Structure 1
Amino acid sequence: MNAETKTGCLWGVGVGPGDPELMTLKAARILGSTRLIAFFAKQGRPGNARTIAAGLLRDDAEELRLEYPFTTEISLNDPRYHLDMDAFYDSAAEQLAGRLAAGEDVAVLCEGDPFFYGSYMYLHDRLAARFPVRVIAGVTGMSGCWTAAGAPITHGDDILSVLPGTLPEEALTQKLAAADAAVVMKVGRNLPKIRRALAAAGQLERALYVERGTMAGERIERLADRDEAAETPYFAIILVPGRRGKR
């Protein structure tokens, strides 16, 4: 609790890419001392961030599930997406605001780093001006993946491009063709489009496919060798390592 305002503190806790041992000491300390734990999850799923943090929560922790309105991927171009997601984050923020105003600290679990494509950001945007906030950095998913793959991603003065797989194919192709090194996130059902863009950009042979990096069931292979008919889960990422060889 914040002694001056008598309101609780909102903690955005980065829990890392999947392996609980890649969580920071600070994150572990806060999770072990905060009673109210909030986390995002799809309906019927345990929530990946909650799974990562499972062994670190207090025995008397109260858990607040924040369930996404969609259970399957939906196109960002679908008008329902932004309307429903905005309403969802508004509602989630108000749930937390009630607890914070009552003087309770709340720790929100976030995979990877909270400020790097993390769902926590949308709560932060809505609450940071109203309540004390502390954010704990986490190892990003992409960092965990390139380390698991044994693939140095940037050398010397390489420029790293981080691209969402939701981009139009032409834009992906252009950005990949110009990249020294690249990470493509938000893969899922976008993989066929990403693969075509990599091929058109002359980068397919360098690309690595990493599935569930640092987690149980981790899978790493050259994208060019991957069966195009194979199912691609949500937790997949494409790496295009930068310059290779001696400097």
Structure 2
Amino acid sequence: MNKKGHFWGIGVGPGDPELLTMKAARILREAGVIMAPKATGRGESAALQAVKDLTDPSKLKIYDFPMTRDPENLAMCWREVAAEIAELVDNGEQVVFLTLGDALTYSTLNYVLQQLQSKLEPGSITIIPGVTSFAAAAAAAGFPLVCGEEKLAVIPLPDGPLDSLRGQVRESDVVVFMKLGSRLAELLEFIKEEFDGRETVFASRVGTPGQYLCRDLGDLPEDAAGYMSVLIVRKGGKA
């Protein structure tokens, strides 16, 4: 009889290898198969880069995933990955799937888990959380994320008009904007309208050699990139 296999979903944090949890580091050393997602058309897997020194190259499997929000395309891609994971676990393998930031916060692992629910027993799945990009950004800037009874909203930019966010923004004291993409300039205009006397942190590639932090949005360069960036805004007079 084969030894019992197991699936581990690991959040590796925003990019700094030293932010990886001790449990995650141990599982990486013990795993037989390590899977890492890579966005189609991009270079090396960002999740893998954060833990590269802890991984045995012979254990790696890299998967391209489409840069799309279309549920059908995503489901088809991750159905294939989940089927391979289930087969490996059934054969007794200890399988790790890496994802940037926290394991279940806007991560690719969520799509894999949706497909795995019917393929693996709950007891054979373990999720190890990681540091989110916005928590790392707040720490790097020394920016208190929320205090007392403040309300925090974490909002990915929608495909449509930003006007749809006004209700959430107005009910919150601190807002984290994620998935900025190419809409940073549009978001900055929206923030000027909605936040008077604001405090802000723009952070890009936190925890990596290319880390960039800016506390004054007026100082942001015109070519500031939205990819792998977050923007934290606190309403005036709330700190």
Query: Quick check: TM above 0.5?
Result: yes
* Secondary structure in structure 1 of the residue aligned to 2:232: strand
Indicate the larger mover: 157-166 or 230-239.
230-239
Structure 2 unmatched runs, 5+: none
Do structure 1's residue 113 and structure 2's residue 97 form an aligned pair?
no
Query: Which whole-Å CA distance do the structure 1 matches of 2:80 and 2:187 have between them?
Result: 34
1:55 to 53, 56, 62: 53
Do structure 1's residue 145 and structure 2's residue 137 form an aligned pair?
yes
One-letter code aligned to 1:238 = L
One-letter code aligned to 2:62 = R
Measured at CA, do residues 107 and 204 of structure 1 come closer, stay the same or move farther in structure 2, by a change above 3 Å? farther
1:42 to 39, 44, 47: 39
Does the aligned pair in 1 maintain the 2:179–2:226 contact within 8 Å? no
The superposition leaves residues 198-246 of structure 1 with CA deviations (integer Å, 9 ceiling, x where unpaired) of 112125842221111121111111223213x31414110001136655x
Measured at CA, do residues 100 and 152 of structure 1 come closer, stay the same or move farther in structure 2, by a change above 3 Å? same
Query: Which whole-Å CA distance do the structure 2 matches of 1:128 and 1:61 have between them?
Result: 28
Query: Which whole-Å CA distance do the structure 2 matches of 1:212 and 1:226 have between them?
Result: 15
One-letter code aligned to 2:37 = F
Structure 1 unmatched runs, 5+: none
Does the aligned pair in 1 maintain the 2:12–2:131 contact within 8 Å? yes
* Secondary structure in structure 2 of the residue aligned to 1:11: strand
Q: Show the 5 A alignment for 1:70-219.
A: 70=67, 74=68, 76=69, 81-131=70-120, 132-166=124-158, 168-203=161-196, 205-219=198-212
One-letter code aligned to 2:93 = E
State the Cα RMSD in Å: 2.1
One-letter code aligned to 1:53 = V
Query: Which whole-Å CA distance do the structure 1 matches of 2:3 and 2:197 have between them?
Result: 55
Measured at CA, do residues 144 and 158 of structure 1 come closer, stay the same or move farther in structure 2, by a change above 3 Å? same
The superposition leaves residues 93-117 of structure 1 with CA deviations (integer Å, 9 ceiling, x where unpaired) of 1121221222211100111111111
Indicate the larger mover: 120-129 or 87-96.
120-129
Deviation at 1:169, TM superposition (A): 0.9
Give the share of equivalent positions with the same residue, in percent: 26
One-letter code aligned to 1:69 = P
One-letter code aligned to 2:31 = T
The superposition leaves residues 71-120 of structure 1 with CA deviations (integer Å, 9 ceiling, x where unpaired) of xxx5x4xxxx3221121111111121221222211100111111111111
The superposition leaves residues 147-173 of structure 1 with CA deviations (integer Å, 9 ceiling, x where unpaired) of 011111111110101111126311223
The superposition leaves residues 36-78 of structure 1 with CA deviations (integer Å, 9 ceiling, x where unpaired) of 00010024521111000101113x64211110134xxx5x4xx
Could you tell me the TM-score, scaled by structure 2's length? Answer: 0.88
Query: Which whole-Å CA distance do the structure 2 matches of 1:46 and 1:204 have between them?
Result: 40
Does the aligned pair in 2 maintain the 1:32–1:57 contact within 8 Å? yes
* Secondary structure in structure 1 of the residue aligned to 2:183: helix
Do structure 1's residue 9 and structure 2's residue 6 form an aligned pair?
yes
| Alignment length (residue pairs) | 232
Do structure 1's residue 223 and structure 2's residue 217 form an aligned pair?
yes
Measured at CA, do residues 112 and 32 of structure 1 come closer, stay the same or move farther in structure 2, by a change above 3 Å? same
